[in-house]
Structure 1
Amino acid sequence: MLLLLQLLIAIFAIYSALRFEEETRLLVPLACLVAMLVISRIDRQRAEKAQARKVFLKAELDRMREKEAGQSKDQDFFLIESLLWPKSEILLIDAVHTIFRNLGFKVTTGADYGTIDRILRIPRSGSTFGLEILMTERGVEGNHAKLQRALQFERGKKEGERTLIIGSTYVHHPLSERERMSDVTPEAMDFLTRHRLIFLSAHQLYQLWQRAKEGSLDVFEVFQRIHSHPGGIFTLKGF
């Protein structure tokens, strides 16, 4: 896209040099040259940023491959990237949907509910979650739009339904750093507890997924426990 824009500017510069009056004939090509240099710099910065992300993700995923010792398939690593370092919220939502489906949950879109991303049902149970899925470069703040959407579902929920927010936080940081950071701000924590909304970090979901694949926990039992959580942040302590 940027290359095409540069080409169009170059064509306009040539046209102006041939067609415009003498004073304009010099100024317009000069302005076009400056614009092309600016676009070239932006393009280079984007390429450098993309390369840095590629190197960063490769290092993180290589560490995971070594740690998991062949337990994950290659296609799992795309899900891991989309869950923990998502490029967009759409990719994150798709990753969460796929992971829950692979774990044996019943997952559907939230089309009938309007304000929710997915509906999650625990098999052989009447327990249901309305999932709100978000990503942020920092911890979740109290004014995040997805918290308000979750609250709308909470206020209109039916019997047996709970609101669960899954957040991929600090998406530009390695996992080793995230473990020392708070996933939500104090204001967001107050919002969650006041409205009995449950928060599960994408990192915790990743750990649940891995342990379920190992067979070291009953993931349905864990989510029954989440369903009865009073509100706030759910962690895997005790499992």
Structure 2
Amino acid sequence: MDISINKYISDTGFCSRREADKYIEQGRVTINDNIALKGNRVQEGDVVEVDGEPLKKKKNTIYIALNKPKGITCTTDLKDKSNIIDYVNHSSRIFPIGRLDKLSEGLIFLTNDGDIVNKILRAGNQHEKEYVVTVDKPVTLEFVKTMRSGVRILGVYTKKCFVQQEGSHRFRIILTQGLNRQIRRMCEALGYKVETLKRTRIMSMTLKDLPPGKWRYFTKDEIAAINTMVAGSSKTEKGQGSEGMDE
């Protein structure tokens, strides 16, 4: 065995590689009692600890789909009383893949598989996320056209995307990028305010038969399908910038 420290940590199911890097930066990770640095390698027989606690290999890989209700925060910080981990209350240590805003609802994945988190969140993987959004003013043709072609937020133009009006104040949008609070920022830039935002699909998975506030395990077929879709994703973290699976 000879793997990078952040991959070793994510492989145990403790957290994603991105979060592992944060632990390393904070000086909370040791290899054989020596403070770990980014880029360190772990060899067979090395003892890796986080906050003085040895990491143990995970037993089973867990994949969960949750229909997140409003008011739940997509954080692993247990000090936050509305955190998603306490809400799901699973016996194993799991973490969300990406996030949905506290006021947003809908489909989100949780897992203890740090590798698949890394692959799904990688920018440029073109994994579709579908949302139904209601806004505070009537949706116009100009609004739909502009949303489709790209809106300037966070200093960049959003990628072209599918947008379809579904009612006087409602539209459906499919994103392949995940800039922070992207849909809300796009609407705000055009003078609209989001009133409700629900993610209805991630890649091939939908909210079908999953009531609000409930969660279920992926089926074997769903796990196989997701793994096939991310098979081409690089395992490195090159290009893993601000994009991911935010709304």
**What's the TM-score bracket when you normalise by the shorter of the two chains?**
under 0.3
Higher relative contact order (CA 8 A, sep 6+): 2
Rg comparison, structure with higher value: 1
Instruction: Compute the TM-score of the two structures, normalised by the length of structure 1.
Output: 0.25
Instruction: Compute the TM-score of the two structures, normalised by the length of structure 2.
Output: 0.24
